[in-house]
Structure 1
């Protein structure tokens, strides 16, 4: 593939990802979960916070609306560019969870939404959270456990194979179920965990469902015939208003000592 082709492919991939994120962010249960994460941060007007893995910046903008001085950090230059274009007055920076572009004890809130399953070293990331958080600051971690996707199908054995295989393609697929112990082990106090289950029954999340099978097929774990049959069933279910995806989302919150 030529350099130009790779650039076009990357732009297309990011465009599709942003579209999917926008759709997911607008789902009422997602709106409610973001609001709950802000409550758990216990931020007051004038406080400061970092949103790690901010993506296109929606949470940062919502925190700004709450009079919080929020900083959005993401590893993707493309995502940061989109966020800056959408909210030019907000503060967005390129960085990663292991090395945040912040000073010691600079913020009173640390938020990471669907980030820790992408990290190979969660303890190192929480050490960085400890560094940037002021004493008494709050952290909130949000994420799905990739082994606990519930998808209705006429092919339960294949579905089980697809879900678990997709989990193993993720750097840290079971990070969310470990939030409590990770936070306790990193010296946080007042550690609590909540579970919010999203239930999706229309076409909104069809792309996510078929994308799981696509990744597993691309990894050579299921055959083309299995992939075609399984995705055809999910597409048919969506068209007939019979799609069913239940997605438990874990929310870990804690206070820095």
Structure 2
């Protein structure tokens, strides 16, 4: 897992803040807490905790929460914003936790960035207590739905962005992978997050820019596509749907 540079961290933090405040994201975090079933005497690890919002929400209900992230600047932000949880520098492949020391394991928007998800799940099993619970949340980057006058170009832009990730389709594979890794009672829930206003334009612009940088789409066509999306937002016709999966299991 590469360590993000300064500019990457600033951009990621801005995107996370925008997304985390939406009602859709708030609902996802709430459902993940329900699936964790953590009690006030439990310890929960939030892997890839970012700026710490989810960790703080879990801690507010009583559990001891350890947020783990690779990015020290993210951790500094988390500590400044949320004094309740404990935040540690760490890697999904090597968590700074003892064997069997946590009753809950949570990871949101993390596994698409992992080249070896089975190794990360083995590490999750190591730190989870025998009756511990695991919850993974993530979007399928190859299944984004964007209404456009040019669906062929839209597919090219979405696919190019997805193909730049280690595992863009991670959520659709997690049920089988968890069972293969020895987890029990694996369950999957789906949510579709809908966006119909300009708040999603920075994400769409990022998709188009990445497609140009990868050589998948000419710059002028990408610019026209972004312009169309801006026009749709101004006219109230924008439509973006993002499929999220919540995958839960017992140790």
| TM category, shorter | over 0.9
Unaligned runs of 5+ residues in structure 2 are none
Structure 2 counterpart of 1:101, from 88, 96, 104: 96
Would you say 1:33 and 2:13 are equivalent positions? no
Unaligned runs of 5+ residues in structure 1 are 1-9
Residue 146 of structure 1 and its aligned partner are, at CA, apart by 1.1
Structure 1 CA distance for aligned equivalents of residues 32 and 126 of structure 2: 21
TM-score by length of 2: 0.96
* Paired positions, count: 247
Trace 1:150-165 onto structure 2 (pairs within 5 A): 150-165=145-160
For the residue of structure 2 that corresponds to 1:171, the secondary structure is: coil
TM-score by length of 1: 0.94
**CA contact 1:141–1:252 (8 Å) conserved in 2:** yes
> Structure 1 runs of 4+ off > 3 angstroms?
10-13
Which residue of the partner structure matches residue 245 of structure 1? 240
CA displacement, residues 48-74 of structure 1 (integer Å, 9 cap, x when unaligned): 100000000001100110101000001
CA displacement, residues 43-97 of structure 1 (integer Å, 9 cap, x when unaligned): 1111110000000000110011010100000111111111011113420011110
Structure 2 counterpart of 1:126, from 103, 116, 121: 121
Which residue of the partner structure matches residue 148 of structure 1? 143
CA displacement, residues 120-164 of structure 1 (integer Å, 9 cap, x when unaligned): 000000000000000010000010111110000011110011111
Would you say 1:21 and 2:13 are equivalent positions? no
Would you say 1:204 and 2:199 are equivalent positions? yes
For the residue of structure 2 that corresponds to 1:60, the secondary structure is: helix
Which residue of the partner structure matches residue 168 of structure 1? 163
Would you say 1:63 and 2:85 are equivalent positions? no
**CA contact 1:191–1:255 (8 Å) conserved in 2:** yes
